[in-house]
Structure 1
Amino acid sequence: MFYSTIPEPLCFAFLMIEGQSMMSLASATEPLRAANRLLQREAFRWELCSLDGHPVQASNGLPFHAEPVEIGLSRNHAIFLCGGFRVNPVDERPYLAAMRKAARGGLAIGALSTASHLLARAGLLDGYRCTIHWENRAAFEEDFPHLSPTGTLYEIDRNRLTCSGGTAAMDLMLRIISDRHGADLAQSVANQFHHERIRAANEDQQGGKLQRMNALPQPLQNVIRQMQGNLETPLQIDVLAEASGLSARQLERLFRFYLGMTPVRYYLSLRVERAREMLLYTEQSIMDIAIATGFASTSHFSKWFKEFNSITPTKLRMRSRLKRDRELQDRFVSGDPG
């Protein structure tokens, strides 16, 4: 790990993006503060940065004072990009440039929550394991087919650290604390936040339909995983049943009993859910999204999308863009322009 031989204090910079997740940032920094207090020395140091040193508002509207990122690059061992709301493509360039400069300068590179997307865009995850929040995984895989996000809570691969966001950032930092100062200190830090169990890097995220899947019978889990892996070219139900050692009729009974719908409708729901994520988190055309989720035409896609979401794909994308632009405008109007 990059931090194995660095003397104290181990220093982190957090490059904040407008609309960042406050939960992720707090989960990353508070364990460092608690570790210092329990050790009674400054074993860790951190600072908050923005592109220009102006305050940044989190997704909940709270402002954070910041240092210019140029200063942060000069006095830290690692830098995390803090994700949250999706960054408009036209605004990505300065963040990509800052992270590339950090990498050239030898800093370890990290991402919280959705910021893995920007690291991938900068080419900084090529050849590394990585993860991203489960809600953004489909869009990530479509935009960067050469990368394979693991779906785990966090990943530490040499000098790259990626985290799925939320409280998973705490588990990532507790791992670093444990590696540098022992498991007992890490557990003591976790206890400060009533974090009952330190989760390992290889634990999967629980979100969306995955949250319920572990409670299902194994044959049903197997079929659902087959469905999830074949959204672009959907498999026939009898093929799925045979692969799991079931008849089509047995499979239908299992789906109706445990999930309240037929296998065909559940498969459709998975495809529509993937399409929804792509509409919200990518710039791909509706035609491309329809093809990527196994629909033969945009009209067929729109029909089923509206069936599950009570809104057409076009209207959902338009509403999402308007909402995002309005929220960003409101934050800039109410915030300190610097």
Structure 2
Amino acid sequence: MPPVSEKRLFSHRLRDTNSAFLPARQQEERPTRVGFVLLPHFSMMAFTAAVDALVTANLVQATPLFAFATYGLESTTVRSDLAIDISANATLEQLPLEGEAALDVVIVCGGFRCDLNERAPLSHKLKLAAKRQKVLGGLWNGAVALAHAGLLDRLACAIHPDNHTFARERFPHVQVSHQVMVVTERVLTSAGPSSALEMMLVLIERLHGKDTVRAIREILSSDRIADSNETRLTLAENDPSLPEPLRNLLHLMNSNIEEPLGIEELAAYVGLSRRRIERLFQGHLETTPSRYYLELRITHARRLLLQSDASIANIAVACGFVSSTHFSHCFKDFFGVSPSQARQLRKG
């Protein structure tokens, strides 16, 4: 039997899926603080896409990675482009750039009907943020506010196409890009809702790596529409980057959780040798077939355990474990707590 420390390590595909439920690391830094300045008539869709990335990042890790707050220009009530009034946390004057509560990232949220004239208090605050080496961002036409503050001179930026003509006329030293998203070391800009999400994922990857972003995508892109307009769930078996024989094997495993197939049975179904199957798993998933199958069943069990009231004994059977005791030992090896403790922690 391998040592416990080895058994608790998921392979990279399923580690992302289970990361929020794994034991927390001892060394934890404070969350990155992000402030959203909401301009009147800001795009609700772009704003929520950006926030969704941060919230989901917190969900896929055992400890929070981000904290965010919203700021109105002069009031804590800001009307969105949907004519829905949003309660901001504070006003622009209260946006913190120093001290323990200081923001690390400041993002201006624009929208289709936002006034593009300069607002002196906002320009002043953005200049202070730049002076203190904060990361700055703009959603939709939020980059216009950065340009008014002189923070985009000789830089490229993404702005909603409707505002390209204005931006080129008003800011001759700013390169208005045809790209939907432009990311530099200190400035992040995007032109709409989808690119707002991608922009935030770039920021998250910089701070916390590709594994965290992969886990976020698994949640937020689960119903992505393919080019063929066919909706495909983002399971590993649907990943076009994997060889078709491997995808067929993953489909077989996913379809046979309660009564797991042996390696020889899998080989017979797909017409490959055992050695060929082992090479496919090692080369593309960095694990063995049996190990991946166990992780898949444990992941399935974790979802049932935390999302249903089924008994632990029934969950063990549904996930192909020979007994509740065997299931409990395997679960604790991976997650550091017993199934009953995990359920109690979730309820708490």
Q: Secondary structure at the match of 2:188?
A: strand
Code of the aligned partner of 2:94:
I
Q: How does 1:76-115 map to 2 (within 5 A)?
A: 76-88=103-115, 92-115=119-142
Distance 2:86 2:62 in 1: 26
Structure number with greater Rg is: 2
User: What residue is the counterpart of 1:190 in the other structure?
Assistant: 217
Structure 2 residue corresponding to 1:138, chosen from 162, 165, 173: 165
User: What residue is the counterpart of 1:45 in the other structure?
Assistant: 67
Verify: 1:181 aligned to 2:200, yes or no: no
Distance 1:176 1:108 in 2: 10
Shift of residue 87 of structure 1? Answer: 4.2
Q: Deviations along 1:199-236, whole A, 9 cap, x unmatched?
A: xxxxxxxxxxxxxxxxxxxxxxxxxxxxxxxxxxxxxx
Shift of residue 63 of structure 1? Answer: 1.7
User: What residue is the counterpart of 1:159 in the other structure?
Assistant: 186
Verify: 1:35 aligned to 2:57, yes or no: yes
User: What residue is the counterpart of 2:229 in the other structure?
Assistant: none
Distance 2:36 2:143 in 1: 14
Cα 1:73–1:83 shift into 2, 3 Å: same
Give the TM-score normalised by the residue count of structure 2.
0.51
In structure 2, stretches of 5+ residues that fail to align are 1-27, 225-348
Between the two proteins, the alignment pairs up a number of residues equal to 192
Give the TM-score normalised by the residue count of structure 1.
0.52
Structure 2 residue corresponding to 1:124, chosen from 151, 157, 182: 151
Distance 1:170 1:177 in 2: 11
Shift of residue 171 of structure 1? Answer: 0.5
Shift of residue 145 of structure 1? Answer: 2.1
Shift of residue 19 of structure 1? Answer: 0.3
Cα 1:30–1:24 shift into 2, 3 Å: same
The more displaced of 129-138 and 76-85 is: 129-138
Q: Secondary structure at the match of 2:136?
A: strand
Q: Deviations along 1:52-105, whole A, 9 cap, x unmatched?
A: 342101100122211122333332011001101444466633322222232233
In the TM superposition, structure 1's runs of 4+ consecutive aligned residues that sit over 6 Å from their partners are none
Verify: 1:72 aligned to 2:99, yes or no: no
User: What residue is the counterpart of 1:168 in the other structure?
Assistant: 195
- Contact 2:160–2:192 under 8 Å retained in 1: yes
Distance 1:28 1:90 in 2: 24
Code of the aligned partner of 2:108:
L
CA RMSD of aligned residues (A): 2.2
Distance 2:124 2:114 in 1: 14
Code of the aligned partner of 1:108:
V
Distance 1:81 1:122 in 2: 12
In structure 1, stretches of 5+ residues that fail to align are 1-5, 198-338
Verify: 1:26 aligned to 2:48, yes or no: yes
Distance 2:134 2:34 in 1: 10
Q: Secondary structure at the match of 1:179?
A: helix
Identity %: 26
Q: Secondary structure at the match of 1:56?
A: strand
Cα 1:84–1:184 shift into 2, 3 Å: same
Distance 1:148 1:90 in 2: 19
Q: Deviations along 1:257-287, whole A, 9 cap, x unmatched?
A: xxxxxxxxxxxxxxxxxxxxxxxxxxxxxxx
Structure 1 residue corresponding to 2:38, chosen from 16, 19, 24: 16
User: What residue is the counterpart of 2:283 in the other structure?
Assistant: none
- Contact 2:32–2:65 under 8 Å retained in 1: yes
Q: Secondary structure at the match of 1:73?
A: coil
Distance 2:143 2:117 in 1: 17
Shift of residue 125 of structure 1? Answer: 0.5
